[in-house]
Amino acid sequence: MRFSRVYKETVLDSSFENWKKLLSHYFRINQAHLLMLARTEILPKSLVVEIARALSELENEKIDEKLPDGIEDLVFLIERKLSQKIGIEKAGFLHTARSRNDIDATVFRMCVREKLIEVAEELIGLVEKLSEKAKRNVRTVLLMYTHGQPAQPSTLAHYLLSLAFDFLEVLEGLISALRVVNLCPMGSAAITTTGFKIDRKIVSDYLGFFEPVENSYRAIVTSHWINMALNPLKVLASDLSRFAQDVLHKASCEVGIFNFPDELVQISSIMPQKRNPVVLEHLRIRSSVSFGSFNAVEVAFLNTPYQDVNENGDFVLFKFSDGAEVLKQALQLTKEIIEKMTVNEDRVRELAFSTGSTATELADHLVREYRISFRQAHQIVSEYVKSGMRYDSLVENFEKLTGKRFTLSPSQVEEMLSVENFVRVRQVMGGPGEKSIEEMLQSFEDRFQNGKHQIEKVKLFIEESLGKLQDDFASLIFSRS
């Protein structure tokens, strides 16, 4: 046996399984590289056509179940099969002006950009759900908490748009990440390019990359691009964990602000009030576990030499993919949660009232209306709350302390303390008042559509590039050689 049994079973065989999933990327690269060798006339047309036809056949054949002895990996296996078709002399020319190194680096970037786009698409779906639900809930009152305690009333739209803006920043981060990731290493060969007069731009274009990774050493050794790719994903995972934890609290039976339908809840026959929204815990778990997978990738690169190392290989790459898959699940669960949860507005009003959450607004009103100081206003309202919200005590206290006449009627005071009034008066930029929310929705929508459009553009660009590659490759095969 060429390799030690332990090495083969532990390293080579597992790598073989990984590479099977990456194989179509490898074939695309073969096609693009071959077309480039033809266009630059590095190889003669007839040879190119012969290789192309063999490649085409190979792609339609079944892959071996197991890695045969003595073959290092799937790429060598494919090369051997190619040699069996057209002879080793001719087959060898496919490898002109390239190396395992630039092929691998290119495959991995194709894989990562795919994952980034998939996550971006899930995220876009979620953000659309958030924005749509926000639009339908501009007046749905909600209670906002600080440090686990009720603080101030607001609206569901205000809350959901907060998340939506966070996710929009993540989306913009994904677009930046794609700009770093979607560059083509091909042509770097082992690490210093080649003496052949290749045209790296042709290969890059065919494969849907924005442009080549210019410096060829960097194209092979850097771990930047994968770290940059996982950055926005980690932020997203962290955000989702925080969302889950907050909704778990608001959906707890004692708080009871958010309700979930039976299809997302586990019920106890004997404790009918116990409705565990375990979907939220599963969201939290997927968030922190995807976070952990991305962490593992980051840590794997640390303190490794700035050279071509196997950390830039399939084993670590699949750790990244695992994280992305779990994160996609988390996004799906979040979308489901957003879609199906409802607000118990009566409970919001009850809690807001019982905890005096709207009392600050009455104090603010006294400041604005009677030009008294904050301190006085707070003292008066505080006494009022302590009195159990007795109107007469409010009037008496106010007039005694300020020497002014109190002109609000009992119903005016009540209205002043209502959740709806609290929200209504907050019309400045970013507040929960209807006008503010409308403006927010507008500025959100513009930025979001732009982000969404950019993701779509990248996706389309890649698809069209690969489409052109398939067309040109087909023409090559059917051309007279």
Q: Which of residues 92-151 bind its own copies (CB under 8 A)?
A: 92-93, 95-96, 101, 144-151
d(CA 471, CA 306) in angstroms, rounded, equals 39
Binding status of residue 389 toward its own copies by CB under 8 A: no
Q: Of 80, 242, 349, 468, which lies in the binding site for its own copies, with binding defined by CB under 8 A?
A: 242
Shortest distance (Å) from residue 77 CB to its own copies: 16
d(CA 137, CA 443) in angstroms, rounded, equals 18
Of the candidates 209, 282, 261, 222, which has an alpha carbon nearest to the alpha carbon of residue 458?
Answer: 209
Handedness of CA 469, 471, 472, 474 (dihedral sign): positive
- Angle among Cα 14, 18, 19 to the nearest 5 degrees reads 115
d(CA 247, CA 263) in angstroms, rounded, equals 17
Q: Which one of the spans 18-26, 111-119, 259-267, 462-470 is the region binding its own copies (CB under 8 A)? A: 259-267
Shortest distance (Å) from residue 354 CB to its own copies: 7
- Cβ contacts of residue 170 below 8 Å, gap of 6+? 123, 232, 235, 236, 239
> Which of 26, 320 has the CB closer to its own copies?
320
Residue 63 is classified by DSSP as: P
Of the candidates 443, 402, 449, 426, which has an alpha carbon nearest to the alpha carbon of residue 144?
Answer: 426
Binding status of residue 187 toward its own copies by CB under 8 A: yes
> Which of 444, 470 has the CB closer to its own copies?
444
Q: Total residues at the site for its own copies (CB under 8 A)?
A: 178
Q: Of 205, 212, 406, 451, which lies in the binding site for its own copies, with binding defined by CB under 8 A?
A: 212
> Which of 62, 272 has the CB closer to its own copies?
272
DSSP string, 342-391: EE-HHHHHHHHHHTTTTHHHHHHHHHHHH---HHHHHHHHHHHHHTTS-H
Residue 142 is classified by DSSP as: E
Stretch 52-71 residues interacting with its own copies (CB under 8 A): none
Contact by Cβ (8 Å): 219, 211: no
> Which of 247, 476 has the CB closer to its own copies?
247
Binding status of residue 208 toward its own copies by CB under 8 A: no
Q: Of 32, 213, 327, 343, which lies in the binding site for its own copies, with binding defined by CB under 8 A?
A: 213
> Which of 402, 481 has the CB closer to its own copies?
402
Rounded alpha-carbon distances, angstroms, from residue 153 to 60, 219, 246, 259, 339: 62, 53, 16, 18, 22
Q: Which one of the spans 116-124, 349-357, 400-408, 449-457 is the region binding its own copies (CB under 8 A)? A: 349-357
Cβ neighbours around 59 below 10 Å, total: 15
Binding status of residue 16 toward its own copies by CB under 8 A: no
Q: Of 163, 171, 341, 366, which lies in the binding site for its own copies, with binding defined by CB under 8 A?
A: 163
Rounded alpha-carbon distances, angstroms, from residue 117 to 19, 211, 226, 412, 433: 21, 18, 14, 54, 35
Stretch 430-449 residues interacting with its own copies (CB under 8 A): 430-432, 436, 440, 443
Q: Which one of the spans 23-31, 420-428, 455-463, 469-477 is the region binding its own copies (CB under 8 A)? A: 420-428
Q: Of 28, 109, 335, 452, which lies in the binding site for its own copies, with binding defined by CB under 8 A?
A: 335
Q: Of 425, 461, 477, 481, which lies in the binding site for its own copies, with binding defined by CB under 8 A?
A: 425
Binding status of residue 81 toward its own copies by CB under 8 A: no
- Cβ contacts of residue 335 below 8 Å, gap of 6+? 122, 125, 126, 129
Shortest distance (Å) from residue 296 CB to its own copies: 2
Residue 208 is classified by DSSP as: T
Q: Which one of the spans 26-34, 48-56, 348-356, 464-472 is the region binding its own copies (CB under 8 A)? A: 348-356
Q: Which one of the spans 56-64, 107-115, 124-132, 366-374 is the region binding its own copies (CB under 8 A)? A: 366-374
Shortest distance (Å) from residue 471 CB to its own copies: 25
* Chain center to CA of 38: 40
Shortest distance (Å) from residue 298 CB to its own copies: 7
Q: Which one of the spans 29-37, 54-62, 210-218, 463-471 is the region binding its own copies (CB under 8 A)? A: 210-218
Binding status of residue 190 toward its own copies by CB under 8 A: yes
Stretch 298-317 residues interacting with its own copies (CB under 8 A): 298-311, 313, 315-316
d(CA 194, CA 35) in angstroms, rounded, equals 17
Using CA atoms in the order 134, 136, 139, 140, what is the torsion angle rounded to 10 degrees? -80
Stretch 264-283 residues interacting with its own copies (CB under 8 A): 264, 266, 269-276, 278-279, 281-282
Looking at the DSSP bridge assignments, the partners of residue 155 are: 141
Q: Of 216, 321, 397, 465, which lies in the binding site for its own copies, with binding defined by CB under 8 A?
A: 216
